[in-house]
Structure formats: C-alpha cells, structure tokens
Structure 1
C-alpha cells in the first residue's frame, strides 16, 4: 500500500512540475508580448507627436495667408477679418413643420355634477 502511495505522490509531483514549467513559459511569452506592445505604443505616440508638430507647422496663420495670396487667382480666397464673423443671436434657424396627424383622437369632456 505504501509503494502505491509513493508512486502516486511521485506522479503528482511530476504532473505539477510539468504544469509549473508550462506556466513559466506562458508567463514569459506574455511578458514578452507586453514589452513588444509597450514598445509599439511608444513608437506610435512619438509618431503622433511628430504628426501634431507637422500639422501645427503647416497650419501657421502667416503661411496660410501667404498661400491664399499666392493662389488668389485660382481659389479667390479672401483673408479673414473680425467683421466676417457674426454673433450667435444673428443665426436664424428654420422652423420645422409639424408632421400631419395620421390618427385623429377624439376628445370629450364630461361635466361633473356638482353636489
């Protein structure tokens, strides 16, 4: 009986060792993947920062004004001035028409008898 117990215990230890071995390698693979993803995220953030800087550089007001002046014959763009803008209360919004009544509802009133 003792020998069966020893054999089962040895088998259990081997199974647990194999399981721990696999878990170790799965963890190592997951950590490697996380490192790669973090590296990719850092590269993408750096790229986004460069693109934001390029966008800011290309959208400088003086550069856009020069481009509008150079291409005036073709585009007929005018420089923006403060009097080109209006106030919010000057905007007129169209009134939406009410939809037609498809199913009329009869309304009746009851007179209550006064006591």
Structure 2
C-alpha cells in the first residue's frame, strides 16, 4: 500500500512540475505581449502629440486669415462680427411635455390564446 502512495505522490509531483513549467512559459509570453502593447501605446502617444502640434500649426489665426483672403472669391468668408451671434432668449428650446397618465391596463396577450 505504501508503494501505491509513493507512486501517486511521485505522479502528483511530476504533474505539478509540468503545470508550473507551462505556467512559467505562459507568464513569460504574457509579459512579452505586455511589453509590445506598451511600446505600441508609447508610439501612439508620440504620434498623437505630433498630430496635435501639426493641428495647432495649421490652425494658426494668421494662416487661416490669409487662406480666407486668398479664397475670398470662391468662399466669400468674412470676419466674424459681434452682431452675428444670437442671444439666449432667441433659442427655441423644445417644450417640456407632461408625462403621460396611464390609468388603464394594457392587454398583452390575446384572451383566446390563453384558453
């Protein structure tokens, strides 16, 4: 009977060693994927910073003013004036409707289907 316990214990130790070996390699693989994802995130952030800088450069007011002057005949753009803005009391907000009062029940099933 002791030899049975020794064999079972040995098999359990071998099984746990195999499991630990597999877990170790899966963990290393997950860490490698994590490093790759972190690198991709860093590259995306760097590209985003570059695009934000480019956006700010292209939207400089003096550049936009020059483009509006160059393309005036085609676009007809004029500088904004204070009288072009509306007032809050001129905005037509949607009406607030009263909630519906439901006093009667609604039949969902047909009475004939129940019978």
Would you call these one fold, judging by a TM-score over 0.5?
A: yes
Q: Secondary structure at the match of 2:80?
A: coil
- 2:92 match: 93
* Cα deviations by residue, 1:32-79 (Å, 9 ceiling, x for unpaired): 111111111111111111111111111111110000000101111112
Taking a change above 3 Å as real, the CA distance of residues 26 and 94 of structure 1, as seen in their structure-2 partners, is closer
Number of matched pairs: 96
Taking a change above 3 Å as real, the CA distance of residues 81 and 10 of structure 1, as seen in their structure-2 partners, is same
Residue 88 of structure 1, CA deviation: 2.1
Residue 6 of structure 1, CA deviation: 1.2
TM-score w.r.t. the length of structure 2 is 0.74
Gap regions ≥5 residues in structure 2? 98-115
- Mapped pair 1:16 → 2:16: yes
Determine the C-alpha separation between the residues in 2 that align with 1:30 and 1:21.
14
Q: Could you say what the CA RMSD is over the residues aligned between the two structures, in angstroms?
A: 1.9
Taking a change above 3 Å as real, the CA distance of residues 26 and 72 of structure 1, as seen in their structure-2 partners, is same
Taking a change above 3 Å as real, the CA distance of residues 60 and 71 of structure 1, as seen in their structure-2 partners, is same
Taking a change above 3 Å as real, the CA distance of residues 15 and 50 of structure 1, as seen in their structure-2 partners, is same
TM-score w.r.t. the length of structure 1 is 0.74
- 1:109 match: none
- 1:59 match: 59
Structure 1 segments, 4+ long, off by >3 Å, are none
Gap regions ≥5 residues in structure 1? 99-115
- Structure with higher Rg: it is 1
